[in-house]
Amino acid sequence: MLNSFCRAAAATVGCAALIAAGCSFLQSNAEVTPVDQQFMLTAASVGTAEVDMAELAERQGGDPAVKAYGHRLAQTHARINDELSLLAERKHVNLIHAMDPANRTLYEELTHLSGPLFDREYLLAQINMHRMGDGLYESEAQAGEDADVKAFAARNAPVGVEHLQLAQTLLAQERPSGR
């Protein structure tokens, strides 16, 4: 089983690989630039991972606060994913609603955990995912080219910041038995 550091590194490498590989998924009929398409494709993949992992936290978390966090994330990211899907449809971007390989591996690893160990590993993963996701959304909000895509990113960037802060708080409150 991967330790926390290896999981964080795998998620980081996976997101970078997804961004690099995403260029092969760019669509010529899209009504947005390749930069905006890349953001949309990456956001869709990460959003899918967020919902799936949050639902897993609802089922396998040990601490009721982690379960509630998972529930909140599942609802929020499902809403964001729906909003992104509508935007992509308007802009003629075909999204791929699947986890990237690194997040899929992380998800599979988490399925084998429960209770305090799951809580700790899930929260560490959320901290790493939201740090990267926050950068993705902030970058698009500032440097994106399509006004609608930029507005979507700007509207949803604060959500990631909030989720990051919540995960950090929950991890800091973790009981010593969870370590």
Where in 5-60 does DSSP place strands (E)? none
Average pLDDT score over residue span 5-18: 46
The string over 15-49, giving b where at least 16 C-beta atoms fall within 10 Å of a residue's C-beta and e elsewhere, is: beebbeebeebeeeebebeebbbbbbbbbbbbbbb
Is 12's pLDDT higher than 70?
A: no
Residue pair 105/135 in contact by the 8 Å Cβ criterion = no
CB atoms within 10 A of CB 174: 16
Is 94's pLDDT higher than 60?
A: yes
Residue pair 71/54 in contact by the 8 Å Cβ criterion = yes
Average pLDDT score over residue span 26-30: 72
Say what the pLDDT of residue 131 is.
96
Say what the pLDDT of residue 178 is.
43
As a whole number of angstroms, the distance between CA 114 and CA 9 comes to 22
Q: What is the third-level CATH fold of 4-178? A: Ferritin (1.20.1260)
Say what the pLDDT of residue 174 is.
83
Say what the pLDDT of residue 13 is.
44
Residue pair 51/77 in contact by the 8 Å Cβ criterion = yes
Say what the pLDDT of residue 31 is.
84
Q: How confident is the model at residue 168 (pLDDT cuts 50, 70, 90)?
A: very high
Say what the pLDDT of residue 116 is.
96
Q: How confident is the model at residue 162 (pLDDT cuts 50, 70, 90)?
A: very high
Q: What is the pTM of this model?
A: 0.83
As a whole number of angstroms, the distance between CA 89 and CA 91 comes to 5
Query: Which of residues 179 and 67 earns the better pLDDT score?
Result: 67
Average pLDDT score over residue span 28-41: 89
DSSP letters, 147-171, are HHHHHHHHHHHHHHHHHHHHHHHHH
Is 18's pLDDT higher than 70?
A: no
Domain range list for the chain = 4-178
As a whole number of angstroms, the distance between CA 107 and CA 93 comes to 26
As a whole number of angstroms, the distance between CA 69 and CA 24 comes to 35
